[in-house]
Structure 1
Amino acid sequence: MPLRYALNLPNAGIASAAPVLAEFAAVAEDSGWDAVFLEDYVVYQAQSDVPVTDPWIALAAMAELAIA
């Protein structure tokens, strides 16, 4: 079984918008990464001032970009 590699993308902070995460995932796929993961925060570590994208919305944006 070959070793596989994945990226854990941040869905909180300045680069956490769903379209940005979808672009990151597309670049990762084009670069040969095997998978992309997201954290499941809805509120980032009790810091309500940090912008967070719902992980399911971000994953849907990634899937839509991958299909298109």
Structure 2
Amino acid sequence: MGDARVPSVRLGNIQADKLSSYQQATVDDITVYCHESLPVLFRRITIKLEKILFFKRLAATTEW
């Protein structure tokens, strides 16, 4: 695997002490927070919401 970089995504809010490292944006009426390093590392990030019964999780795919 080496030093492969994959963006981490999760549901929920960001802790107040970490908020300064994130940029806030609105995409399709959803508030998202993007870590300041992501635009430098990836050209495009696609995030999908996966649902299985009552469980939800986010999955990210990227373009270099």
Same fold (TM over 0.5): no
Q: TM-score range by the shorter chain?
A: under 0.3
More strand by share: 2
Higher relative contact order (CA 8 A, sep 6+): 1
Instruction: Tell me the TM-score normalised to structure 1 length.
Output: 0.23
